[in-house]
Amino acid sequence: MKNCFKKLSIAQKQTLWAYVFLFVPLVFYLVIRIYPAFNAFYLSLTNWDIVSVEKDMVFFENYFSLSEDPLFWKTLGNTFKYVIYGLPINLVLSFLIAYNLNKLKWGLGIYRTLYFIPFMTSLVAVSWVWRWLYQPLPLGFFNNLLSLFGIPEQPFLMAPSQALPSILAPTIWVQMGFQVIIFLAGLKAIPQSVYEAADIDGANNRQKLFRVTIPLLRPTIIFLVITGTIKYLRIFTQVYSMTYQGNGGPLNSTKPLVLYIYNTAFQRFDMGYASAMTVVLFLIILVITLFQLKVLNKDD
Amino acid sequence: MTKSKLNKTNPLVYIIMGIGGLLMIFPFVWMVATSFKQPWDVYNLSIIPTQPTLANYFRLLATSNFPRWFFNSFVVSIAVTMSVLFFDSLVGYTLCKFKFKYKNIIFLLILSTMMIPTEMLVIPWYVMSKGLGWANSYWGIMFPGIMTGFGTFLMRQFFQSVPDDLLDSGRIDGLNEFQIWWKIAMPLVKPAISALAIFTFLGNWNAFLWPLIVTSTNSLYTLPVGLAFFSGEFQTEWEMVMTGASVATIPVLIVFLIFQKQIVRGIALTGLKG
C-alpha cells in the first residue's frame, strides 16, 4: 500500500489528498444541504401530513392553493413590509452613527461597545425586554414616558396598525450594532489622501460625503444591503417572541412568511403545503439577491 | 489650515453620540435593574430597586432548568464551532491550494448551498431526524451546522494570501499534506479563524428556529428555546421574565467585553472580505 502511494506522481498525490480531505465534507453537503433542498421541492408537490406512509403526488396543487390563500398573501406582504420599512431605516441610521463615530478622536472603543452590545445578545431575550417596554399603563415604560408628555396611551403590540413597526424597532436596534461595525471598517479603509485631494479641489463636506465617501463605500453597502435583505426576509424569532402565544397577531398583522411556514409545518403538520411556501421563500431570496448584485454592481 | 479643519471634531458629536449610546444600552440596564426588584416594585419606574433582592434568581433556579439549558447551549455551540473551524478551513484550504479535477464544480456546489435558506431545509431535516432517531438529541441540534458554505468561502479567501513557496518548503521537509495544512498554513490565517469562530459560536448560541423544532424535552432545550418557554409561562411576572433574560444575556456580554477587540476586528474583517 505504502509503495503504491510512493509510485504516484505529485499531481496524482495531490488529487488523492484533495479527495481524502473533501470526502466527509462532500457527503455532508450532498446529504445535509443539497438533498434536503430537492426533498423540500419534492415534498411541495405532495400533500404529505408526516403521519401517513404514503406521499400522494398532487403536483402543483399546493402552489395553486397558495395563490388563493389570503393568509399567504398577507404574510408575504408583512415580510416585505419588514424589509421595505426596516432595512432602509436601519442602513441610514447605522451609516449616520458610523460616520459620526469615525470623527471621534478618542474613546471610539467605548462608543463602539455601546452601539454593538445589542447585537451580541439573544434575540429571544431582547424581544421579551421590548415586549415589556411596550406594555400598557401602569407597567410599560414607553407608555409612562408618553404620559409624561401628555400623550395618550398607545396600544403598540396590541393594535394591528402599530404592532409591525413595534416589532421592527428592536429589530433595527439589534442589527444596528453589526452594520455600524461594518460601516466603520469601510470608512476606516478609505485613505485620508482621498479627502486631502478633495480639499485641494475645494470640495465642501456635503460634496465629500456624496462624491467621495459614499461611492467608495459601495462594496460595503452592497454587502449590507444583501445580507440585510436576507435577514429581514427570514424574520421569525422576534415575531414569535413578541406576539401573543407567538401567533403573529393581532389579526395576523405581524405574521411573516417564516412564522406561517412554522405554523403550517410544525403545528398543523401540513408538510406539503409548508414546503411549497419554503420553495417560494427560496425563490424570492434567490431573485432578490441576484437582482441586487446586478443593480448594485452595474457600474463596475 | 485644511489640516486643522480636518483634525477638529465638534464636541457636540461626542455628546450626541454618547446619548445615543446610552439609549442603546438602556433596555439592558433596565432589564438587569428589574431582575433585582420585588414584585410590587416592578411598577416603580426607578432604575434603582427600592429593596434589591436576589429572590428572583433563586426562584428561577428552583422553578426552571436554566443551568441545564445554559450547559446545552454551551456544549452545542462549542462542538459546532470546533467542527466548523476544522472542516471549513480544511475544505477552504483544499479548494484554494490543491489542483485536481472537478475542483471548480465542487467549489460551486458548496458555494451554492449558501443560497439555500435554512427555512427551506428544516422540514426535510426534521423528517430525517425523526427517521434516524436524531430528533431531541445534541446531535440532532448540531448536525445541520457542522460545516458551512460561508466559512469555507471565507477561509478560501484568506488562504489565498498564504504563499505557495512556504507550502512547498514543507513538502521538501517531508511533511505530509495534512501536516502542511495544520502546521504551516493554519497559523498564518489566525485572524480569519478567530473571526469564523466568533461568528459560528454566536450564531449557534443564539439560534432559535431549528433548536425549537428539533427539541421536545425540557432538559434538551437550548438557552433561547428554554427562555422562550420560561417567559411564556411567567409572562405576567415581569420581574421573572427579566431575570431569565438577564441570565441569558449577561454571560455573553461579559465574554464580549473580554474579547471585544478580537470580535469587532473579526466582524469588520469578514465584512471586508466576504
Q: Looking at residue B101, what is its pLDDT? A: 85
A-chain CB neighbours of B7 within 8 Å are: 105
Does residue B113 fall inside a structural domain? yes
Which domain, by its residues, includes A15?
2-43
- pTM, two decimals, is 0.91
What is the torsional sign of CA A240, A241, A247, A249?
A: negative
- For residues B184 and B98, membership in a common domain is answered with yes
More confident residue, B210 or A120: B210
Residue B6 has pLDDT above 80, yes or no: no
Which domain, by its residues, includes B21?
2-53
> What's the CATH number where B78 sits?
1.10.3720.10
Across B12-16, average pLDDT: 89
Q: Looking at residue B1, what is its pLDDT? A: 38
- For residues B107 and B230, membership in a common domain is answered with yes
**CA-based nearest distance B83→chain A, Å:** 11
Residue B268 to residue A132, Cβ atoms within 8 A:
no
- For residues B37 and B99, membership in a common domain is answered with no
Across B248-264, average pLDDT: 83
- For residues B173 and B218, membership in a common domain is answered with yes
Residue B43 to residue A25, Cβ atoms within 8 A:
no
Q: Looking at residue B194, what is its pLDDT? A: 87
Q: What is the mean pLDDT of chain B?
A: 89
B-chain CB neighbours of A236 within 8 Å are: 119, 208-209
Does residue B175 fall inside a structural domain? yes
Across B106-125, average pLDDT: 93
Residue B140 has pLDDT above 90, yes or no: yes
Spatial separation of the C-alpha atoms in residues A141 and A21, rounded to whole Å:
56
Residue spans of chain A under pLDDT 70:
1-3, 5-6, 298-300
Tens-place pLDDT, residues B47-86: 888 888 999 999 999 999 999 999 999 999 999 999 999 9
- For residues B92 and B192, membership in a common domain is answered with yes
Across B15-34, average pLDDT: 91
Band the pLDDT of B252: cuts 50, 70, 90: confident
Residue A87 has a CB neighbour count (10 Å cut-off) of: 22
Q: Packing angle between helix A160-188 and helix B11-35, nearest 10 degrees?
A: 130
In this complex, the residue of B123, B144, B228 whose CB is nearest that of residue A43 is B123
Residue given cell 411541495 in the structure block = A44
Residue A236 to residue B209, Cβ atoms within 8 A:
yes
- For residues B223 and B122, membership in a common domain is answered with yes
ipTM: 0.90
Quick one: closest CA in B to A15, which residue?
A: B100
Does residue B199 fall inside a structural domain? yes
- For residues B118 and B77, membership in a common domain is answered with yes
Q: Looking at residue B61, what is its pLDDT? A: 92
- For residues B146 and B24, membership in a common domain is answered with no
- For residues B186 and B264, membership in a common domain is answered with yes
> What's the CATH number where A158 sits?
1.10.3720.10
Does residue A95 fall inside a structural domain? yes
| Chain B interface mutation, best of A96, A129, A233, highest count of B Cβ atoms under 10 Å | A129
Q: Looking at residue B273, what is its pLDDT? A: 58
Q: Looking at residue B7, what is its pLDDT? A: 57
Share of chain B above pLDDT 70, in %: 95
Does residue B227 fall inside a structural domain? yes
- For residues A280 and A132, membership in a common domain is answered with yes
Length of chain B: 274
Spatial separation of the C-alpha atoms in residues B60 and B242, rounded to whole Å:
11
Total count of domains within chain A: 2
Band the pLDDT of B2: cuts 50, 70, 90: very low
Band the pLDDT of B230: cuts 50, 70, 90: very high
Q: Looking at residue A3, what is its pLDDT? A: 66
* CA-wise closest residue to B231 among A133, A125, A220: A125
- For residues B80 and B19, membership in a common domain is answered with no
Cell representation of residue B121: 431545509
Spatial separation of the C-alpha atoms in residues B130 and B191, rounded to whole Å:
39
Does residue B41 fall inside a structural domain? yes
Q: Looking at residue B4, what is its pLDDT? A: 44
- For residues A84 and A25, membership in a common domain is answered with no
Residue B9 to residue A105, Cβ atoms within 8 A:
yes
- For residues A19 and A110, membership in a common domain is answered with no
Total count of domains within chain B: 2
Q: How many CA atoms lie within 13 A of A297 on its CB side?
A: 8
- For residues A9 and A93, membership in a common domain is answered with no
**Looking at B33, B53, B73, which one is the last position of a domain?**
B53
**Looking at B34, B53, B72, which one is the last position of a domain?**
B53
Alpha-carbon torsion, ordered A138, A143, A146, A148, to 10 deg: 20
A-chain CB neighbours of B245 within 8 Å are: 125-126, 128-129
Cα A272 → chain centroid: 25
Residue A220 to residue B113, Cβ atoms within 8 A:
no
Partner A, chain B 115-144, Cβ-Cβ below 8 Å: 115-128, 143-144
- For residues B151 and B180, membership in a common domain is answered with yes
Residue A40 to residue B16, Cβ atoms within 8 A:
no
